[in-house]
Structure 1
Amino acid sequence: MAVRDEIREQRQKLRGQGFKAHWEYFWEYYKIHTIVAIFALFLIVTLVRDIANRKPYALYSLFVNNQGMETQTMLQDGFAEYAGIDTTKENVLVDTSSNYIGSSIDTTTVATSEKIMALIAAKELDVFVTDIGSAYHYASQETFMDLREVYSTEELDAMSDKLFYVDQAYADYLASEEYTTYITNGKFDPNNKYAVMADKYNETFHYDIMDPSEMDDPIPVGFKLDGSKALEECGAYPEETAVAAIVINSERIDTSKKFIEYLMK
C-alpha cells in the first residue's frame, strides 16, 4: 500500500475518535516535522528578539488567526500615534504570524502553542487577540489576566456589554487529576458538567458560548471587539467576533489597557 493511501486510510479511521487519537496519529506521522518546525521557529523568534532588543518594547501584542494583510502595519502605526509612543525609542509590535486551529493538530498549531508558551514564560507578551472560539480555549488554559485586577468595578460596569468571561470552575477541572485521568483512558463522570464539556470539546473542537449567569465562577478575562473600527479597517477578523485580553503576567499593564482602549473604539 502506498504511503498516501495508508495515510488516507488512517484518517478515515480517526473520524470521531477525539483529541487523544488525533494527537497520537499526528505525533506518529509528523514528529520529525514538528521538531524541525519548532526549531526553525525558535531561530526566527530568537533573531526577531535580538533585533527588537535594540529598543525596549512599549507593547507586544499577538493576533492569532488574523486575516488582514495589513493588520500589523496599520495597527502598529495607528496605536503608536494614538498613544503618543516614540517608535524611534520604543517598539510597538503587533505580531500577526500565528494561527491556531483546534481541530487540526498540525505543525502550525503546535508551533503557535509553543510560541505562546515561550513568550509568556519570558514575560514578553502583553495583549492577546483572537477569534472568540480560540479565546475560549486559551482562557480555559488560564492564559489571561482577571480584569478585576487591573480595572475598577466602575470601569468594568461601564463596559459590561463587552466583557468576555471564562468559568474558573471549568479551568480548575482542566487542571485536575480527574481530567488527566480522562485524557489517559477516555473515561469521565457524566454527572460532572465540566467533564461533559471537556469531552464534547475534545470530540468537536467547539466551545458552546455560555452566559456568565450559567457559570459557577465567572471571571472577566477579555473584551469583545465587535464594532472595532481599527479591526474593521484592516480586516483582521471579518467573519467573527474577536476578543482582546491581557496576558496573565504582562508587565506593561498601562500600555496594554491603552491598546485595548484603542481597539474598542
Structure 2
Amino acid sequence: MTKEQFKKKLSNFWYYYKIHTIVAVFAIICVAFMVKQCAERIEPDMEIIMVTDSVTLSEDKVTDIENMLSKYTDDLNRDGRKFVRCDYINMNQKQDAQVLYALQTKLMAEIAGSDTALFITDDTFLKRFQEQGMFLDLKDVGLSGQYGVKLSKLPDFKIQDMPTGFYDLNLSIRAFNGTSLDREDASDSYKNSVKMLKALLKNGGIIK
C-alpha cells in the first residue's frame, strides 16, 4: 500500500467513523479514570461523624483531623493501612433551606444506617442528641453526668490554624444497647472506638 493509498483509507475511515472513534476514546478515558479512583480509594477502618452549625471547616482541616485520629485506630479491614474517615456535616443555618434539608436527611441516614460510635458536635447538637438518649454518660471514665468532652481538653486536637470555636466542640460516644463502655458483647468497631476515646482522654490527663 502506497503512502497516498494509506492516507485515503485513513481519511475515509475518519469520515465514516469519526463519531464512533471519539465516543470510544472518551469511554476508554472514563473507564481508566474510574479504575484509577477505585485503586486509590482507601476504605476506612472506622468513621466518625462531625456535625455543627457554629463552626465551618475546610476540607484540608477535616483531613488533618482524619490523619490525627488514624494513629489510634486498629487495622480492622486488614488492608495494611490505618485510616479514619471524618464525615463532616456543616449544618450552618445561613445556608440555603434546600441544602439544609438535604444535609439533615443525610445526617439522619448516617445515624440510622451506620455503626459509627464517635461524634464531634457543637453544644447545640450535643444537647439535641443527648435529649434523644443517643450519647453515653461518660461515668466509666470518671466523668459522671457528662456526655461530651471539650476538644480544648484533648491535646491531640491542637491542630494548627483551626477556626474560631473549634476547641469548644465536644467529643462523644454513642450508646448502643447498653450503658457501659466496656461491654464484652460489643462489636469490634465499637471496641475500637472506645479504645480511641480512652487514648485521647489519657493523653489529655483525664484518665490514667
TM-score, reference length from structure 2 = 0.55
CA deviations on 1:80-120 (whole Å, 9 max, x unpaired) are 22445476456421122x11246878233323322222122
Q: Aligned with 1:256: secondary structure?
A: helix
CA distance in 2, matches of 1:84, 1:247: 19
| Equivalent AA in structure 2 for residue 100 of structure 1 | M
Q: Aligned equivalents of 1:146 and 1:130: distance in 2?
A: 15
Q: Are residues 89 and 72 of structure 1, via their aligned partners in 2, closer, same or farther at CA, if it must alter by over 3 Å?
A: same
Match of 2:195 in 1: 258
Quick one: distance in 2 between partners of 1:248 and 1:105? 32
2:38 is aligned with 1:112: no
> Out of 65, 69, 88, which is 1:75 matched to?
65
Seen in structure 2, the aligned counterparts of structure 1 residues 107 and 235 have a Cα distance that, compared at 3 Å, is farther
**Does 1 or 2 have the higher relative contact order (CA < 8 Å, sep 6+)?**
1
Is 1:63 equivalent to 2:45 in the alignment?
no
* SS in structure 1 of the partner of residue 46 of structure 2: strand
**Residues 1-265 of structure 1 correspond to what in structure 2 (within 5 A)?**
57-65=44-52, 66-69=55-58, 70-83=60-73, 85=75, 88=80, 91-96=83-88, 98-101=89-92, 106-148=97-139, 151=140, 155-156=141-142, 160=143, 219-236=145-162, 238-239=164-165, 241-249=168-176, 251=187, 252-264=189-201, 265=204
Q: CA deviation at 1:225?
A: 2.1
Change (3 A) 1:138 1:106: farther
What is the CA–CA distance in structure 2 between the aligned matches of 1:84 and 1:114, rounded to whole Å? Answer: 30
Across the aligned residues of Structure 1 and Structure 2, the Cα RMSD in angstroms comes to 3.4
C-alpha displacement of 1:235: 4.6
Which is greater in Rg? 2
State the identity as a percent.
Answer: 18
Opposite residue 78 of structure 1, the aligned amino acid is M
Contact 1:147-1:222 at 8 Å conserved across structures: yes
Give the SS at the match of 1:220.
Answer: coil
Letter in 1 for 2:172: A
Partner SS, residue 146 of structure 2: strand
Report the Cα distance in structure 1 between the residues aligned to 2:164 and 2:131, rounded to whole angstroms: 24
Secondary structure of the residue that 2:56 maps to in structure 1? coil
Deviations 1:187-226 (A, max 9, x none): xxxxxxxxxxxxxxxxxxxxxxxxxxxxxxxx53222222
The number of residue pairs the alignment matches comes to 147
For structure 2, list consecutive stretches of 5 or more residues without a partner in the other structure: 1-37, 177-185
Counterpart of 1:226 in 2: which secondary structure?
helix
The whole-number CA distance in structure 2 between the counterparts of 1:260 and 1:142 is 19
The 8 Å contact of residues 68 and 234 in structure 1, kept in 2 or not, is answered as no
Q: Distance in 2 between matches of 1:104 and 1:134?
A: 17
Amino acid at match of 2:192: T
SS in 2 for 1:259: helix
Unaligned runs of 5+ in 1: 1-50, 164-218
Q: Deviations over 1:156-215 (max 9, x none)?
A: 2xxx3xx6xxxxxxxxxxxxxxxxxxxxxxxxxxxxxxxxxxxxxxxxxxxxxxxxxxxx
8 A Cα contact 2:154 2:200, kept in partner = yes
